[in-house]
């Protein structure tokens, strides 16, 4: 028995009883389907086509995640600037940063901060997750930590952005503290890395 797939149609060259094993992907696990041709009904054809479509979606998602795993910069530019710098970019997601001096008039704080911006470049919802590594005075503060404090995740609507600003309420998923600019500092943020970065299209 030969199975031929063209333009979402399944044709069977032999109508005799036959069996063939097919491997198709389903979310979260792999299953083996025993396909029995005697001959195939229309319902059988739709099931096979659906499984093949799921497999194509799975392979596309895996390829995107593998691309994200290659993202890494050994050192970001920590010079204050008014322009956004690209941290990294794929066909799905763009991540940018800029280093700015913020003054918080409500309490007299003056800080240097890194602002982060995440942009979904697709027409689908995008779930993004990562682990934030922080380097103070050239040494990683949390690279060997087992704490989930620096695990972050956000959901981006289609073609939407999530952006940091000089806002004391903004967390480390979009604003990083570098140093005080009007007070003494015991240490200073000199680098950061977004590791274990994943973006899953929904």
Alpha-carbon span 1 to 43, nearest angstrom: 19
CATH topology of domain 85-201: Immunoglobulin-like (2.60.40)
Looking at residue 10, its pLDDT comes to 33
Query: Is residue 187 packed enough to be buried (19+ CB in 10 Å), middle (13-18) or exposed (0-12)?
Result: exposed
Alpha helices, DSSP H only, in the chain?
Answer: 42-69
Residues in the chain with pLDDT < 50? 1-40, 42, 44-52, 56, 62-72
Asked whether the beta carbons of 193 and 133 are under 8 A apart, the reply is: yes
The whole-number pLDDT of residue 16 equals: 35
Q: Per-domain residue ranges for the chain? A: 3-69, 85-201
* pLDDT, position 6: 33
Cβ atoms of 84 and 96 within 8 Å: the answer is yes
CA distance 20 to 105: 72
């Amino acid at each position: 028995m030969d199975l031929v797939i063209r333009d979402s149609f399944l044709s069977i060259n032999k109508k005799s009883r036959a069996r063939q094993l097919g491997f198709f992907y389903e979310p979260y696990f792999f299953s083996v389907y025993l396909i029995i041709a005697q001959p195939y009904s229309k319902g059988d054809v739709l099931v096979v086509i659906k499984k093949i479509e799921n497999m194509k979606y799975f392979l596309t998602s895996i390829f995107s995640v593998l691309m994200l795993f290659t993202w890494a910069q050994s050192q970001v530019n920590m010079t204050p600037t008014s322009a956004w710098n690209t941290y990294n970019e794929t066909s799905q997601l763009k991540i940018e940063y800029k280093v700015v001096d913020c003054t918080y008039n409500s309490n007299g704080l003056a800080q240097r901060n890194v602002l982060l911006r995440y942009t979904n470049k697709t027409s689908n919802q995008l779930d993004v997750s990562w682990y934030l590594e922080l380097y103070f005075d050239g040494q990683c503060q949390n690279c060997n930590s087992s704490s989930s404090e620096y695990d972050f995740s956000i959901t981006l609507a289609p073609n939407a952005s999530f952006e940091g600003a000089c806002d004391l309420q903004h967390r480390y998923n979009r604003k990083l503290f570098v140093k005080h600019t009007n007070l003494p500092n015991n240490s200073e943020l000199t680098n950061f890395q977004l590791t274990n970065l994943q973006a899953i299209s929904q």
